[in-house]
Amino acid sequence: MKRAIKASFAKRLAIPDLRWMPDEGFTLSRLRIEVLSGLTVALALVPEAVAFAFVAGVHPLVGLYAAFIVGLITALFGGRPGMISGATGALAVVMVALVAQHGVEYLFATVVLMGLIQIFAGIMQWGKFIRLVPHPVMLGFVNGLAIVIFLAQMSQFKVPGSDGAEWLSGGPLYMMLGLVAVTMAIIWFIPRVTRFIPAPLAGIGIVAAVVIGLGLDVPRVGDMASIQGGLPTFHIPMVPLNWETLQIILPYSVILAAIGLIESLLTLNLVGDITGKRGGASQECIAQGMANTVTGFFGGMGGCAMIGQSMINVKSGGRTRLAAIAAALFLLSFILFAAPMIELIPLAALVGVMFMVVIGTFAWNSLTILRRVPRMDAFVILLVTVVTVLEDLAVAVVVGVIVSALAYAWNNARRIHANTDIREDGAKVYRIQGPLFFGSSEGFAELFDVEGDPERVIIDFSNSRVVDQSALQAIEAIAGKYEAEGKHIELQHLSRDCHRLLTKAGHLVVDSDDDPDYALAVNYSVRTGILGSH
């Protein structure tokens, strides 16, 4: 009993699951896999964090600090071991307008408020609503993000020129493409020979050794920006604490919190499908909120889950919190101690890793099932994919859920119909088929021939379900029409809530032993009084 009470209490407060041991237990082999997986992720995080910092219009260290702090805190307290979080492009594109208009200090304040909003969402357990995202929306999300990751790598094929960034051409382009192809080939080949070292890490290491050893002139990490820096320091955002400041940062905070949680929770589900784990949505909301709140006070740009790095981690064998913690600590060590060495790594090797992530992330089976699934599901997959690429993840998911919900409502609205027969005593029976709700209430009213029906009419709801207040209103309306004609109407097999809520005088609600006991989404009376023979 005590254990059950403690478990219930822990669940209610979203106390994080801090189990460190994998199901098979820790061994030296498992420890090696987790640490090397973390190192691979950290190497891939560097150019991503720097690039997203440039997108947001802030110093590269602002992105790197965010990747370290967000990655470490979510690794410790997040809802899914194996997930990687850090600075992301989905958030950076929203931040750029704020930074351009008000400066980086307002960004830090916004990130703090963003984190508090996410913590509140976690405490309220709003993360569970991610289960309402249909599978076609998930497929579109995955495909869209794979395309976004691919397009993000295109910036690595550009170099500064007199008229801004210019595409590589000639020998430098062929060299870059060749190194990318070699990296991808190594990542594909290594698992077929040995699993002693993660394939992405082997690809980065071998290509980097060749480039450095031969002194090849190719773009390197250091060409983007220097990643040398010190420890992040505590810093209260230097903004006026007044209503005007809140008006500036609140809209951005809400948008960033929503985007961050949607991307994190969808990534949580995706990683869960690979690792076979479930749950943890509200815990992930709180962890993301804690991470962003802390990041805002330490000069970081905030962040959320990163699907690309999460895929690198799980595909490299990372299954516990240790891999994500190792990634964050490796990233910090790069900033503090190993910047000169990391800056020598060719960008082509990291691009090759991300291209393999794209190939592994894109749901290729979705292309083959487009002709087999319902047309609306196929449309939703394509719609979410396109909107993710052209707009952003949050808008794409919201659009996909709305379209799916409308399609579901429309399909159910068309299901309403009735089978009729005349009993021996002359009464006409309408046996309603299909759900009765706001979308089908008009079709429900069209089922009845009020003027042509006999003096006694029975409406049987045993094969229907009354869902909402619109349905109750439709029942009341049809009953009122029969009463106006002076005819006797009986309503059978309605739920107890319908018995209480249908209060129009003169309606006869007949009790039956097999009345349904489901509840409605409303809990108030239309008028005072109780109908029916109880």
Mean predicted confidence (pLDDT) in 462-482: 85
> In this predicted structure, what is the pLDDT of residue 162?
55
Three-state DSSP state, 461 = strand
Mean predicted confidence (pLDDT) in 110-124: 96
SS3 of 433-444: EEEECCCCHHHH
Q: With a cut of 60, say whether residue 16 has pLDDT above it.
A: no
Beta-bridge mates of residue 159: 166
Four-residue CA torsion sign, 85, 88, 90, 93: positive
- Do residues 131 and 231 share a domain? yes
Phi, psi (deg, nearest 5) at residue 305: -65, 145
Q: With a cut of 70, say whether residue 527 has pLDDT above it.
A: no
- Do residues 240 and 285 share a domain? yes
- Do residues 154 and 243 share a domain? yes
- Do residues 386 and 423 share a domain? no
Rounded CA gap, 230 and 251, in Å?
A: 32
Mean predicted confidence (pLDDT) in 269-298: 87
Q: Is residue 52 part of a domain?
A: yes
| Average predicted confidence (pLDDT) for the chain | 84
- Do residues 150 and 101 share a domain? yes
pLDDT band with cut points at 50, 70 and 90 for residue 207:
very high
Into how many domains does the chain fold?
Answer: 2
- Tell me which long-range contacts 360-363 makes (C-beta under 8 A, separation of at least 24): 360/311, 360/315, 361/142, 361/145, 361/146, 361/149, 361/307, 361/308, 361/311, 362/142, 362/143, 362/146, 362/147, 363/139, 363/142, 363/143
> In this predicted structure, what is the pLDDT of residue 24?
55
Q: Is residue 199 part of a domain?
A: no
CATH number of the domain that 461 lies in?
Answer: 3.30.750.24
Q: Residue 84: name the closest of 21, 22, 40, 27 by CA.
A: 40
Task: Count CB-CB contacts under 10 A for residue 298.
Answer: 17
Beta strands in 288-411 (DSSP E): 304-305
Looking at residue 228, what DSSP letter applies?
Answer: -
Q: Is residue 119 part of a domain?
A: yes
- What six digits make up the tokens of 376? 């609306």
Q: Is residue 520 part of a domain?
A: no
pLDDT band with cut points at 50, 70 and 90 for residue 204:
very high
> In this predicted structure, what is the pLDDT of residue 267?
87
Q: Residue 263: name the closest of 406, 74, 16, 69 by CA.
A: 74
- What six digits make up the tokens of 405? 């919900």
Q: Is residue 398 part of a domain?
A: no
Three-state DSSP state, 420 = strand
pLDDT band with cut points at 50, 70 and 90 for residue 118:
very high
pLDDT band with cut points at 50, 70 and 90 for residue 238:
very high
> b/e string for 409-447 if b means 16 or more Cβ within 10 A?
eeebbeebebeeeeeeeebbbbbbebbbbebbbebbeee
- Do residues 312 and 232 share a domain? yes
Residues of the chain above pLDDT 70, percent:
86
Q: Is residue 128 part of a domain?
A: yes
Q: Is residue 277 part of a domain?
A: yes
- Do residues 490 and 374 share a domain? no
Burial (0-12, 13-18, 19+ Cβ within 10 Å), 108: buried
Residue 167 · residue 158 · CB < 8 Å:
yes
Rounded CA gap, 85 and 264, in Å?
A: 8
pLDDT digits (tens, 9 = 90+) for 395-418: 888 899 899 988 888 888 888 899
- What six digits make up the tokens of 461? 């709801």
Q: With a cut of 50, say whether residue 504 has pLDDT above it.
A: no
Rounded CA gap, 226 and 60, in Å?
A: 8
Rounded CA gap, 313 and 66, in Å?
A: 19
Q: With a cut of 80, say whether residue 510 has pLDDT above it.
A: no
- Do residues 474 and 338 share a domain? no
- Do residues 380 and 438 share a domain? no
- Do residues 60 and 149 share a domain? yes
pLDDT digits (tens, 9 = 90+) for 335-382: 999 999 999 999 999 899 889 888 988 888 888 888 888 889 899 999
Q: Is residue 24 part of a domain?
A: no
pLDDT band with cut points at 50, 70 and 90 for residue 530:
very low
Angle CA(164)–CA(165)–CA(168) in degrees, nearest 5? 140
- Do residues 304 and 435 share a domain? no
Top pLDDT among 388 and 162 is at 388
Torsion of CA 320, 315, 227, 221, to 10 degrees: 170
Mean predicted confidence (pLDDT) in 461-483: 85
Q: With a cut of 70, say whether residue 3 has pLDDT above it.
A: no
pLDDT digits (tens, 9 = 90+) for 148-186: 888 888 888 887 765 667 888 888 999 999 999 999 999
Three-state DSSP state, 417 = strand
> In this predicted structure, what is the pLDDT of residue 499?
65
Q: Which domain range does residue 470 map to?
A: 414-510
> In this predicted structure, what is the pLDDT of residue 14?
40
Top pLDDT among 138 and 15 is at 138
- Do residues 439 and 341 share a domain? no
